[in-house]
Structures are given as C-alpha cells and as structure tokens.
A = this chain, B = another copy of it.
Amino acid sequence: MTDVTTFYVTVDVVLFTIRDRKLHLLLTRRLAKLFENHYALPGGFVTEDESLDAAAMRELAEETGLLDVHLEQLYTFGDPGRDFRGRTITVAYYGLVPHDQRLQSLTDGCNATWFPVTDLPQMAFDHRKIAEYALERIRNEIDHSNVVFELLHGRFTLTELQSVHQAILGQPLDKRNFRRKVLQKGIVEPTQEWRQTGRKPAQLYRFVQADAARG
C-alpha cells in the first residue's frame, strides 16, 4: 500500500429549491485563493472518519445552516486536472429543500445565494458540469422518485405539488390529468385539513411513505 497514490476527496452538493415558481440552485462565493470570488457548489473535504453521505450533510450544514436535508448521490468526478491543487476527486450529491428555508452560514462570509437554473453564473472548477448533470437527473427522475416531496412541508395542496413539478420540468401541466395521476399512483392521500389562505380553501394532502425506497 505504500507506493499507492492518495487523493483528496471532496463532496459537493447541488441543492435545489423553488422560488417564484422557478427552479433555483444554491451557490456559495469562494473565499479561498483558488477561484477566489467565483461561485461554487457548497462542499468540501471529507474527513477521516465520516461516510461520504455524512460529509455531504455536514458541509451543507456548515455552509447553509440546513440540517436533515435528504441527499442522493449523483456522480463522482475525478478527472486529473479538475483541481489544480492536487489530485482531487469529488463525490457529488443533490437534494431539494422547501423554498422558505432560512440560510445562515456557520463559516461566515461564504454567502450562499440562490440562482435560477436558467441563469447560472460562471462557476469554479467543473461545478457547472456537475450542476447541469444534477438538473438532468432530477428531471428524469421526477416521476419515479419521491425527492419532490422534500420541497414541500408535511401537508400541501395538489396545486402546490403541481407547481413543484412544473418548476422542475420548466413547463406547464394539465391540472386534471396531473391530479388524476398522482392520486391513482397512491403516493399522496387527502387529509381532513384545509388551507385557508387564498380565496377558496384547498384540501391538504400528505405523502404516503409506503416503501422508503431509494427512488
């Protein structure tokens, strides 16, 4: 084992949310010398005794204050030359959070900001590629996975759920078809609560966790 190359290993998180009915993702401003002031995905080095999943959660918490975010592994990027400081591979994750989360960095100054996915700034390293890969993935998985429910709180109206789908796909959906589909898939069920905000009260639904699958 002594003559074997070792690597720096980082995790990077592509975190999505919806604001103004549009899909956004979170970028931080880099403080370090390399790529100083460029935008980058939240992330950082994996430490000695934590799993990759745990590292992704920890880094996200440190840079945004967000806890208990459900993350899924996306892909591992490891081309030589993707980080000039040394041989570094990054394990990318993605996740979604409700739109109203307050962000606060523990490591002050890294200034996390939401950007619409249609209008992303220049990014450090190969983070642009990672972000686009994540976007492609959630669009492909929206119908088969339950990650979308991470964007909503426990109870939600079907219109809210539809709005989430539309934001991710970037296109409108038919209301009646959408409602029929999610109801007969059995992934949501009605509650006896109603949302009073707005004009006519709307019935609230909840996500049915039949099998907590990887999705």
Q: A residues within 8 Å of B by Cβ? A: 1, 4-9, 45-52, 73, 75-76, 78-80, 85-87, 89, 91
Contacts and interface: CB of A to CB of B under 8 A. Distances in A.
A205 B37 CA distance: 55
How many copies of the chain does the oligomer comprise? 2
Give 6 nearest A-B pairs by CB, closest first: A6-B6, A52-B78, A76-B76, A5-B48, A7-B9, A51-B79
30 contacts: A1-B85, A1-B86, A4-B8, A4-B45, A5-B9, A5-B45, A5-B47, A5-B48, A6-B6, A6-B7, A6-B8, A6-B9, A7-B9, A7-B46, A9-B9, A9-B78, A9-B89, A46-B78, A48-B80, A49-B80, A50-B80, A51-B78, A51-B79, A51-B80, A52-B76, A52-B78, A52-B79, A52-B89, A76-B76, A89-B91
Contact of A7 (B1, B7, B75, B80): B7
Nearest to A7: B9
Nearest to A144: B140
